[in-house]
Amino acid sequence: MTTKTYRHYLFGIILSVALAGWLAALGIIAVATPNLGWGIVALLTGAIWVGVPLAILLAITWIAYMVRDRGQVPGRVHALLFVPALLALLIYPVSDSIERGKYDAFSAAHPPIGETHVNLSGNDLWIDTKPSASTSSGAGPNLPLAASKPEQFAAFIRYPTPTTGANAPSAFPYDGARLNDKIQQYTYRLASGDAGASLPLKRLPYPDLTPLFPALGKKEATMVRYFYFHYPDHVEVAPALQRLAGMTEQQLDGKKQTGLVLFKTQNYMPNGIARLEINGQTLDIGERALAPVMPLPASCHDYPYPAGGAFADLGQPLTLRWQTLDAPHTWHTATLQVPAFRQPGRMNGESTLLRVQLYFLPDGTVEGERFVEVRQARDQLAIRATGVPPRAAAYTRCGGAFSAFNPQTVKLLAD
């Protein structure tokens, strides 16, 4: 194509460059300004009031060229008239796609982490929630964590952000699903959000979650919750198997998961339980301590409380350790042999997930009741249970494991 030919279409080329330049400027502004807010209205207004007239004028000019040259407009002229504007329009979506790819890659490598903080220090605590955190209600954690209410835990999901650098004050303390090996201190926050005092951080072992991988995949971050126990002179962090949602239990049951035991509790001791371990595995007891309940003859007002799960062989004695709110520096221990079903073997439709209800008795001993869900015909649910242990029957006012189910829709089977 000769220079003369380009001059033949000069007005259209100028319009094309002007339109592309305007759209490119708007796209660059949008890309360079992460939080536009109402500024997006100004960009859209500019695109409509300037970009649309230019586009209409360019289209009219192109039609005029086609009529004048009887459709013999060179292909490269078509490209010069329309390709620059199309490329300019791609600036924002291409940039957005790249940023989304970076964010998705970051999210895959830095998943959200569940934390629960238990205040046994005797002091009000401003715990670290940066860069962002939210509770099950969607709001941020209620801080400070009050010393006057140690039975109330702070449970939330902590979210990393790509802008969190390794040396930043608000650096995310986890590498993937694991706590960074370099972190040896727990640093509190001041009310202003600035870094406060630090205490030595003691780490407990991770639970072995590999038996869950075939059914749930290797998404360890969705299975583990970090319990931080705050004492006056140190902090202990205990990774625990996170309490399972009902759908997850059904998924594991469908995959015939074995070895996993789900626990419930009735606490008839005089003090609340703040920390509980089964065979050295910390249990996820939820967002509050296991509250004491009045034994018989008091009336029932609180059913057994879910207390998480652990991998255990119920054919062997269980070793329990716990700490209470009134004496958080003292470990209490008990050994429990969970009773077996009198009828050996599994029934048709019986879940492979075993369940145990723990009874903490006033004398400091613990009794257990084994039970399991059985799916019968037409999806009818039944419960097979060993019943309330004789020693616990003198205290329990809410009945055994079956008491938490509706007897009109759930059948109790002989064990």
pLDDT value at position 167? 44
> In percent, how much of the chain has pLDDT > 90?
41
Q: What number is the average pLDDT over the span 350-360?
A: 92
What is the band of 169 on the pLDDT scale with cuts at 50, 70, 90?
Answer: very low
Which region, left, alpha or beta, applies to residue 378 given φ > 0 means left and ψ of -120 to 50 means alpha? left
**Alpha helix segments (H runs only) across 151-276:** 213-216, 246-254
Longest Cα–Cα distance of the chain, Å, equals: 106
pLDDT value at position 166? 46
Winning range, highest mean pLDDT, from 51-55, 182-186, 408-412: 182-186
Q: How far apart are CA 80 and CA 16, in angstroms?
A: 7
3-state secondary structure of 93: helix
| pLDDT of 31 above 80 | no
What is the band of 13 on the pLDDT scale with cuts at 50, 70, 90?
Answer: confident
What is the band of 343 on the pLDDT scale with cuts at 50, 70, 90?
Answer: confident
**Is the pLDDT higher at 297 or at 165?**
297
pLDDT value at position 397? 79
What is the band of 303 on the pLDDT scale with cuts at 50, 70, 90?
Answer: confident
What is the band of 6 on the pLDDT scale with cuts at 50, 70, 90?
Answer: confident
What is the band of 229 on the pLDDT scale with cuts at 50, 70, 90?
Answer: very high
| pLDDT of 109 above 70 | no
| pLDDT of 327 above 80 | yes
Q: How far apart are CA 15 and CA 22, in angstroms?
A: 11
| pLDDT of 62 above 80 | yes
pLDDT value at position 267? 92
Length, in residues, of the chain: 415
pLDDT value at position 155? 94
Dig out the tokens for 374 from the structure.
Answer: 């059985």
pLDDT value at position 404? 83
Q: How far apart are CA 151 and CA 137, in angstroms?
A: 19
Q: How far is CA 159 from CA 75, 107, 229, in A?
A: 52, 9, 20
Q: What number is the average pLDDT over the span 61-86?
A: 83
Q: How far apart are CA 163 and CA 31, in angstroms?
A: 17
Q: How far apart are CA 238 and CA 321, in angstroms?
A: 14
pLDDT value at position 104? 65
Find tokens 């490209």 and name the residue.
79
Tell me the whole-structure pTM to 2 decimals: 0.78
pLDDT value at position 345? 75
Strand-strand pairing, 260-267 and 305-311: antiparallel
Any bridge partners for residue 110, and if so which?
A: none
| pLDDT of 272 above 90 | yes
> Model confidence over 189-226: pLDDT tens digits?
888 878 889 999 999 999 999 999 998 888 888 899 99
Q: What number is the average pLDDT over the span 15-27?
A: 82
Q: What is the DSSP letter of 210?
A: G
Dig out the tokens for 121 from the structure.
Answer: 């220090």
Task: Mention every residue, 6+ apart, whose C-beta is less than 8 A from residue 130.
Answer: 169, 170, 189, 193
3-state secondary structure of 244: coil
> Model confidence over 364-412: pLDDT tens digits?
999 999 999 988 777 788 899 999 999 998 888 778 888 888 888 888 8
Task: Mention every residue, 6+ apart, whose C-beta is less than 8 A from residue 378.
Answer: none
Q: How far apart are CA 336 and CA 317, in angstroms?
A: 5
Instruction: Supply the DSSP string of 280-341, one letter for each residue.
Output: TEEP---SB-B-----TTSPP--PPEEEEEEE--TTSPEEEEEEESS-TT--EEEEE-PPPP
What is the b/e burial string over 247-275, where b = at least 16 CB atoms within 10 angstroms of the residue's CB? ebbeebbeeebeebbbbbbbbbbebbbbb
pLDDT value at position 351? 86
- Say if residues 172 and 160 touch (Cβ distance below 8 Å): yes
Planar angle of CA 265, 271, 272, nearest 5 degrees: 50
> Model confidence over 233-256: pLDDT tens digits?
999 999 999 998 888 888 988 888
- Say if residues 389 and 368 touch (Cβ distance below 8 Å): yes
> Model confidence over 110-166: pLDDT tens digits?
788 999 999 999 999 999 998 888 888 878 888 899 999 999 999 999 988 776 544
